[in-house]
Amino acid sequence: MTSPLHILRPQINRLPIIISCPHSGVDIPPDIAKDMCPEVVEGLADTDWFVHELYKFAPKMGITLVHAHYSRYVIDLNRDPAGRALYNDQRQETALIPLQTFAGTPIYAVGPPDKEETKRRLDIYYAPYHGQIGKLIGEMRKTSPHVLFFDAHSIKRSVPSIRAQPFADMILGNQKGKTAAPELSLAALTALRATGTYDVADNEPFMGGYLTRRFGQPAAGVHALQLEMAQDIYMDEASVSRTPNKEDAVRSALTAMFDSLIDALKRLTAIS
Protein backbone atom coordinates (compact mmCIF):
# COMPACT_ATOMS: atom_id res chain seq x y z
CA MET A 1 0.00 0.00 0.00
CA THR A 2 1.20 3.52 -0.79
CA SER A 3 2.02 5.57 2.30
CA PRO A 4 -0.94 7.75 3.34
CA LEU A 5 1.32 10.80 3.47
CA HIS A 6 4.29 12.37 1.75
CA ILE A 7 6.95 14.33 3.65
CA LEU A 8 9.27 16.84 1.99
CA ARG A 9 12.02 17.67 4.46
CA PRO A 10 14.48 20.55 4.24
CA GLN A 11 18.02 19.36 3.61
CA ILE A 12 19.62 22.10 5.73
CA ASN A 13 18.62 24.81 8.18
CA ARG A 14 15.43 23.09 9.33
CA LEU A 15 13.05 25.53 10.96
CA PRO A 16 10.40 24.60 13.57
CA ILE A 17 7.59 24.97 11.04
CA ILE A 18 5.36 22.31 9.47
CA ILE A 19 2.98 22.89 6.58
CA SER A 20 0.20 20.31 6.31
CA CYS A 21 -2.04 19.72 3.26
CA PRO A 22 -4.57 17.11 4.40
CA HIS A 23 -7.12 17.51 1.59
CA SER A 24 -5.00 17.62 -1.59
CA GLY A 25 -4.77 13.84 -1.99
CA VAL A 26 -6.65 12.29 -4.93
CA ASP A 27 -6.12 8.53 -4.63
CA ILE A 28 -8.90 6.14 -3.57
CA PRO A 29 -7.97 2.47 -3.04
CA PRO A 30 -9.90 0.13 -5.37
CA ASP A 31 -11.53 -1.77 -2.48
CA ILE A 32 -13.08 1.52 -1.30
CA ALA A 33 -13.79 3.04 -4.73
CA LYS A 34 -15.89 0.03 -5.80
CA ASP A 35 -18.57 0.97 -3.27
CA MET A 36 -18.69 4.63 -4.29
CA CYS A 37 -20.69 6.34 -7.03
CA PRO A 38 -18.50 6.40 -10.16
CA GLU A 39 -19.18 10.09 -10.87
CA VAL A 40 -18.00 11.02 -7.37
CA VAL A 41 -14.77 9.04 -7.76
CA GLU A 42 -14.23 10.65 -11.15
CA GLY A 43 -14.88 14.22 -10.02
CA LEU A 44 -13.56 14.33 -6.42
CA ALA A 45 -15.48 17.58 -6.06
CA ASP A 46 -14.25 18.61 -2.60
CA THR A 47 -10.54 18.15 -3.21
CA ASP A 48 -8.12 20.96 -2.28
CA TRP A 49 -6.76 20.84 -5.80
CA PHE A 50 -2.99 21.29 -6.25
CA VAL A 51 -2.55 22.95 -2.84
CA HIS A 52 0.61 21.04 -1.98
CA GLU A 53 2.08 22.24 -5.29
CA LEU A 54 1.63 25.84 -4.15
CA TYR A 55 3.75 25.15 -1.09
CA LYS A 56 6.59 23.24 -2.78
CA PHE A 57 8.87 26.20 -1.96
CA ALA A 58 8.71 25.24 1.73
CA PRO A 59 11.74 22.90 2.03
CA LYS A 60 14.02 25.50 0.43
CA MET A 61 13.00 27.87 3.22
CA GLY A 62 13.75 25.25 5.88
CA ILE A 63 10.09 24.29 6.34
CA THR A 64 8.80 20.71 6.43
CA LEU A 65 5.90 19.99 4.06
CA VAL A 66 3.47 17.12 4.69
CA HIS A 67 0.63 16.26 2.33
CA ALA A 68 -1.93 13.48 2.09
CA HIS A 69 -1.86 10.86 -0.62
CA TYR A 70 -5.46 9.70 -0.34
CA SER A 71 -8.66 11.60 -0.99
CA ARG A 72 -10.64 13.08 1.88
CA TYR A 73 -13.47 10.80 0.68
CA VAL A 74 -11.50 7.84 2.06
CA ILE A 75 -11.34 9.52 5.47
CA ASP A 76 -11.17 13.19 6.37
CA LEU A 77 -7.91 13.91 8.19
CA ASN A 78 -9.27 17.25 9.37
CA ARG A 79 -12.27 15.90 11.29
CA ASP A 80 -12.65 14.79 14.88
CA PRO A 81 -12.25 10.98 15.06
CA ALA A 82 -15.10 10.94 17.60
CA GLY A 83 -17.39 12.44 14.99
CA ARG A 84 -18.04 15.75 16.74
CA ALA A 85 -18.97 18.69 14.51
CA LEU A 86 -16.50 21.53 13.98
CA TYR A 87 -19.13 24.27 14.03
CA ASN A 88 -22.45 24.69 15.77
CA ASP A 89 -24.20 26.72 13.11
CA GLN A 90 -26.34 25.77 10.13
CA ARG A 91 -23.57 25.06 7.65
CA GLN A 92 -23.17 21.74 5.89
CA GLU A 93 -20.22 19.75 7.23
CA THR A 94 -18.78 16.59 5.78
CA ALA A 95 -18.19 13.78 8.26
CA LEU A 96 -15.08 11.86 9.31
CA ILE A 97 -15.95 9.45 6.52
CA PRO A 98 -18.04 11.65 4.21
CA LEU A 99 -21.31 10.18 2.99
CA GLN A 100 -22.13 13.13 0.75
CA THR A 101 -20.28 15.97 -0.89
CA PHE A 102 -20.66 19.63 0.13
CA ALA A 103 -23.16 19.88 -2.72
CA GLY A 104 -25.24 17.09 -1.18
CA THR A 105 -24.35 14.40 -3.73
CA PRO A 106 -24.31 10.88 -2.22
CA ILE A 107 -20.83 9.36 -2.23
CA TYR A 108 -21.70 5.69 -1.76
CA ALA A 109 -23.63 3.56 -4.21
CA VAL A 110 -24.06 0.93 -1.49
CA GLY A 111 -24.57 1.34 2.25
CA PRO A 112 -22.21 3.56 4.27
CA PRO A 113 -19.06 2.09 5.88
CA ASP A 114 -19.79 0.27 9.15
CA LYS A 115 -17.96 0.74 12.46
CA GLU A 116 -15.39 -1.94 11.61
CA GLU A 117 -14.55 -0.28 8.31
CA THR A 118 -14.38 3.13 9.98
CA LYS A 119 -11.88 1.78 12.51
CA ARG A 120 -9.85 0.18 9.72
CA ARG A 121 -9.57 3.49 7.89
CA LEU A 122 -8.70 5.32 11.10
CA ASP A 123 -5.87 2.86 11.70
CA ILE A 124 -4.54 2.73 8.13
CA TYR A 125 -5.02 6.26 6.80
CA TYR A 126 -5.84 8.66 9.64
CA ALA A 127 -3.57 7.63 12.51
CA PRO A 128 -0.32 7.68 10.46
CA TYR A 129 -0.93 11.26 9.31
CA HIS A 130 -1.71 12.57 12.77
CA GLY A 131 1.03 10.46 14.30
CA GLN A 132 3.65 11.84 11.93
CA ILE A 133 2.59 15.42 12.62
CA GLY A 134 2.85 14.74 16.34
CA LYS A 135 6.26 13.14 15.89
CA LEU A 136 7.59 16.08 13.88
CA ILE A 137 6.32 18.55 16.44
CA GLY A 138 7.94 16.52 19.23
CA GLU A 139 11.28 16.48 17.42
CA MET A 140 11.17 20.22 16.82
CA ARG A 141 10.21 20.99 20.41
CA LYS A 142 13.47 19.37 21.54
CA THR A 143 15.45 22.19 19.95
CA SER A 144 12.97 25.07 19.81
CA PRO A 145 10.64 26.52 22.47
CA HIS A 146 8.11 27.40 19.76
CA VAL A 147 6.81 25.37 16.82
CA LEU A 148 4.36 26.48 14.12
CA PHE A 149 1.90 24.02 12.56
CA PHE A 150 0.31 25.53 9.45
CA ASP A 151 -2.67 23.76 7.86
CA ALA A 152 -3.16 24.62 4.18
CA HIS A 153 -6.52 24.37 2.42
CA SER A 154 -8.56 25.61 -0.53
CA ILE A 155 -12.24 25.68 -1.43
CA LYS A 156 -14.54 26.65 -4.26
CA ARG A 157 -15.32 30.36 -4.30
CA SER A 158 -18.95 29.67 -3.47
CA VAL A 159 -20.39 26.77 -1.47
CA PRO A 160 -24.04 27.60 -0.67
CA SER A 161 -24.35 24.72 1.80
CA ILE A 162 -21.76 26.47 3.97
CA ARG A 163 -22.97 30.04 3.46
CA ALA A 164 -24.88 32.05 0.88
CA GLN A 165 -22.13 34.59 0.22
CA PRO A 166 -18.93 33.83 -1.73
CA PHE A 167 -15.78 33.43 0.36
CA ALA A 168 -12.92 35.89 0.64
CA ASP A 169 -9.76 35.19 -1.37
CA MET A 170 -7.93 34.00 1.75
CA ILE A 171 -9.17 33.19 5.24
CA LEU A 172 -6.80 32.84 8.17
CA GLY A 173 -8.12 30.74 11.05
CA ASN A 174 -6.85 30.40 14.62
CA GLN A 175 -10.02 29.72 16.59
CA LYS A 176 -10.26 33.45 17.25
CA GLY A 177 -6.85 33.57 18.90
CA LYS A 178 -6.94 30.26 20.76
CA THR A 179 -4.50 28.20 18.68
CA ALA A 180 -1.58 30.60 18.08
CA ALA A 181 0.24 33.49 19.70
CA PRO A 182 -1.20 36.82 18.51
CA GLU A 183 2.21 37.82 17.11
CA LEU A 184 2.07 34.96 14.61
CA SER A 185 -1.51 35.59 13.52
CA LEU A 186 -0.78 39.29 13.07
CA ALA A 187 2.36 38.56 11.08
CA ALA A 188 0.45 36.31 8.68
CA LEU A 189 -2.50 38.66 8.22
CA THR A 190 -0.31 41.72 7.77
CA ALA A 191 1.91 40.05 5.17
CA LEU A 192 -1.01 38.70 3.13
CA ARG A 193 -2.83 42.03 3.17
CA ALA A 194 0.34 43.92 2.29
CA THR A 195 0.30 42.42 -1.20
CA GLY A 196 -2.70 44.61 -1.99
CA THR A 197 -3.93 41.82 -4.25
CA TYR A 198 -6.10 39.59 -2.10
CA ASP A 199 -9.12 40.05 0.14
CA VAL A 200 -8.01 38.46 3.43
CA ALA A 201 -10.53 37.52 6.13
CA ASP A 202 -9.85 36.69 9.77
CA ASN A 203 -11.62 33.57 11.10
CA GLU A 204 -14.69 34.11 8.94
CA PRO A 205 -16.23 31.72 8.18
CA PHE A 206 -13.43 29.19 8.85
CA MET A 207 -11.63 29.22 12.20
CA GLY A 208 -9.51 26.12 11.70
CA GLY A 209 -10.46 22.47 11.54
CA TYR A 210 -9.62 19.54 13.78
CA LEU A 211 -5.90 19.50 12.97
CA THR A 212 -5.52 23.15 13.95
CA ARG A 213 -7.55 22.62 17.11
CA ARG A 214 -5.72 19.46 18.08
CA PHE A 215 -2.18 20.68 17.64
CA GLY A 216 -2.59 24.36 18.47
CA GLN A 217 -1.46 24.62 22.10
CA PRO A 218 0.29 28.00 22.31
CA ALA A 219 0.74 27.79 26.09
CA ALA A 220 2.85 24.68 25.42
CA GLY A 221 4.82 26.36 22.63
CA VAL A 222 2.93 24.77 19.72
CA HIS A 223 1.07 27.26 17.54
CA ALA A 224 -1.38 26.42 14.77
CA LEU A 225 -2.82 28.46 11.92
CA GLN A 226 -5.09 27.45 9.05
CA LEU A 227 -5.19 29.20 5.69
CA GLU A 228 -8.18 28.62 3.43
CA MET A 229 -7.99 29.96 -0.14
CA ALA A 230 -10.64 30.40 -2.81
CA GLN A 231 -9.56 28.13 -5.62
CA ASP A 232 -10.11 30.67 -8.38
CA ILE A 233 -7.19 32.79 -7.14
CA TYR A 234 -4.67 30.12 -8.18
CA MET A 235 -6.37 27.80 -10.68
CA ASP A 236 -9.19 27.54 -13.20
CA GLU A 237 -12.00 26.34 -11.00
CA ALA A 238 -14.39 25.46 -13.84
CA SER A 239 -11.99 23.15 -15.67
CA VAL A 240 -10.08 22.03 -12.54
CA SER A 241 -6.78 22.91 -14.16
CA ARG A 242 -3.62 24.68 -13.09
CA THR A 243 -2.97 28.31 -14.06
CA PRO A 244 0.77 29.04 -13.77
CA ASN A 245 0.57 32.84 -13.61
CA LYS A 246 -2.02 32.72 -10.85
CA GLU A 247 0.01 30.09 -9.00
CA ASP A 248 3.12 32.24 -9.18
CA ALA A 249 1.32 35.25 -7.73
CA VAL A 250 -0.14 33.26 -4.85
CA ARG A 251 3.17 31.52 -4.22
CA SER A 252 4.87 34.91 -3.97
CA ALA A 253 2.33 36.04 -1.38
CA LEU A 254 2.74 32.81 0.60
CA THR A 255 6.53 33.10 0.55
CA ALA A 256 6.33 36.65 1.88
CA MET A 257 3.93 35.48 4.58
CA PHE A 258 6.33 32.75 5.71
CA ASP A 259 9.21 35.23 5.76
CA SER A 260 7.15 37.26 8.22
CA LEU A 261 6.15 34.19 10.22
CA ILE A 262 9.77 33.07 10.50
CA ASP A 263 10.74 36.50 11.85
CA ALA A 264 7.83 36.48 14.31
CA LEU A 265 8.74 32.98 15.48
CA LYS A 266 12.33 34.09 16.06
CA ARG A 267 11.13 37.03 18.14
CA LEU A 268 8.93 34.71 20.21
CA THR A 269 11.91 32.42 20.77
CA ALA A 270 14.15 35.33 21.80
CA ILE A 271 11.80 36.34 24.63
CA SER A 272 11.05 32.80 25.83
pLDDT tens digits, 8-52? 999 888 999 999 999 999 999 999 999 999 999 999 999 999 999
pLDDT tens digits, 94-141? 899 999 999 999 999 988 999 999 999 999 999 999 999 999 999 999
Would you say residue 235 lies in a domain? yes
Would you say residue 74 lies in a domain? no
User: The domain containing residue 158 runs over which residues?
Assistant: 5-20+46-67+123-270
b/e per residue, 100-124, with b = 16+ CB within 10 A? bbbeeeebbeeeebeeeebeebeee
| C-alpha distances in Å from residue 7, one per residue of 15, 65, 90, 127, 148 | 15, 6, 36, 15, 16
Would you say residue 242 lies in a domain? yes
Q: What is the pTM of this model?
A: 0.96
Q: Is the pLDDT of residue 271 over 80?
A: no
The per-residue pLDDT of the chain, averaged, comes to 95
Would you say residue 231 lies in a domain? yes
Confidence of residue 272 (pLDDT cuts 50, 70, 90): low
Give Cβ neighbours of residue 164 (< 8 Å, ≥ 6 apart). Answer: none
Would you say residue 131 lies in a domain? yes
CATH of the domain at 14: 3.40.630.40
**Predicted pLDDT at 111:** 86
Give Cβ neighbours of residue 201 (< 8 Å, ≥ 6 apart). Answer: 167, 168, 170, 171, 172
Spatial contact of 67 and 211, defined as CB atoms under 8 Å apart: no
Q: Give the whole-number percent of the chain exceeding pLDDT 90.
A: 90
Would you say residue 117 lies in a domain? no
Spatial contact of 133 and 66, defined as CB atoms under 8 Å apart: yes
**Number of domains the chain contains:** 1
**Predicted pLDDT at 53:** 97
Q: Is the pLDDT of residue 89 over 80?
A: no
Would you say residue 89 lies in a domain? no
